[in-house]
Structure 1
Amino acid sequence: MSSVWHITDLELTIRILLAAGLGGLVGLEREWSNHAAGLRTHILVCIGSTAIMLLSIYGFSEFVNEPQVRVDPARLAAQVISGIGFLGAGTIMRTGLTVSGLTTAASVWVVAAIGLCVGAGFLYCAVLATVMVLLSLVVLNKWEKYLMRNRRTMEVVIKIVDKPGVLGNIATKFGENGIHIVNVQMNPDGMTEVDGVLEAVVELRFSLKASQGETLIKALDTISTSGHILSTESKTFSMVSGSRKSSRHAVG
């Protein structure tokens, strides 16, 4: 029987540990950025794909010399690539016009590929891929935010008492802070009691462009203290009845 179908326990252990380390590096960045799939998820995916790759290559070595058996080391690995999609899809969320979790889904998928490389003994490729993934997640992320700072839209939801002039006042406050309104949707949102009188509530969903996040915060600070404003919410924070409340959400 050819030695190509055999692996020592030591080498197998090294590959599993290396997979845990490489997957953990990517997962640590996701964990640090407060995303849905973090350190443990990425480690488990990388170890799992490595184990499946090892099984696919070395797990059936005793059948290699059987006359009616054809060994395909890539067969189980192919199932990992197609099957990991369900886990990545679980990290993708859509809130209104905003889709988040795409980067984390991609990182889970690429960690599975790194694990397959480690399991197959393609160690240089695994390490190189890990380095490139970390560069993409850390360095390119900052560069992308800098380049796209004036092009990306932010979604803000403001609930108001349906009174004349309230929407115009909000639009004026955005304009004074250099914030461009791309789109606005108005949806009825029930009734509320104001000074003993039932008033209609309207939800305003704005798509905005701002050069800096600080300008949006400043504008919402001003708007939240205006009359007939019930609450303001954005992707990164919310203010209810004029008082700010931290509201962090996962973004790819």
Structure 2
Amino acid sequence: MHPEVEMLLRALVATILGGAIGYDRQRHDKPAGLRTYMLVALGAALFTASAEIALGSDGPFDLLRVSAAIATGIGFLGAGAIMRSGEGNVRGLTTAAGIWVTAGIGVTVGAGQWILGVGATLITVIVIAVLGHPAIPTPGGSTSHHRDPDPTTNR
């Protein structure tokens, strides 16, 4: 298979996997939805695949540097998703974390690690969709509305 065709296939798979995560976020009217997650995964896969083509998979391809640059850039995007209300409530942490993980999945698939990318997507969907259910049981047996604690006060 021609290298660019393989890279395009990787980008397509990453986009689909990002969509699997973004679908649930969109369904629940979260700040970042289907398109955002798809584009994050696609972009990460493209940067990774393009670096591999440009630098050569047999040569000095340095996935670590590419991954670090993507993680840094995505950090800024994720930071934009985090909001703090006047009452001190922090919102958007799960969205920011989901964007960050989705970029990691894009890098993984862009590097040709298909199984790891699909597995990470399944884990992410379970964490976001299943564990993120509004009423989850607490150790005492009752249900409560889940809310990520404020990282500055841990409340």
Under a length normalisation based on structure 2, what TM-score does the superposition of the two structures give? 0.81
TM-superposed deviation, 1:53: 0.6
Q: Structure 1 residues 71, 50: CA separation in 2 closer, same or farther (over 3 Å shift)?
A: closer
2:94 maps to which residue?
103
CA deviations on 1:73-106 (whole Å, 9 max, x unpaired) are: 3322210112211110111111113111000000
Partner of 2:103: 112
Counterparts in 2 of 1:32 and 1:87: CA distance versus 1, 3 Å: same
User: How many pairs were matched up?
Assistant: 142
Cα contact 1:53–1:119 (8 A) shared by 2: yes
Which structure's residues are more often helix, by fraction?
A: 2
What residue number does 1:123 align with? 114
**Bigger relative contact order, structure 1 or 2 (CA pairs below 8 A, ≥6 apart):** 2
Aligned-pair identity in percent equals 38
Aligned pairs for 1:7-156 (under 5 A) are 8-61=3-56, 64=59, 70-95=60-85, 96-142=87-133, 145-147=136-138, 149=144
* Structure 1 residue 145: Cα displacement: 3.0
Amino acid at match of 2:27: W
Moved over 6 A (4+): none
Provide closer, same or farther for how the CA distance between residues 41 and 150 of structure 1 changes in structure 2, counting only shifts above 3 A.
closer
Larger Rg: 1
Residues 1:15 and 1:151: Cα distance change in structure 2 (over 3 Å): closer
Distance 2:51 2:135 in 1: 39
Letter in 1 for 2:34: L
Q: 1:80 to 1:94 in 2, by over 3 A?
A: same
Instruction: For 2:135 and 2:107, locate their aligned partners in 1 and report how far apart those are by CA, in whole Å.
Output: 29
More strand by share: 1
TM-score, normalised with respect to structure 1: 0.52
Return the alpha-carbon distance in structure 2 between the equivalents of residues 100 and 78 of structure 1.
Answer: 26
- Matched letter for residue 93 of structure 1: M
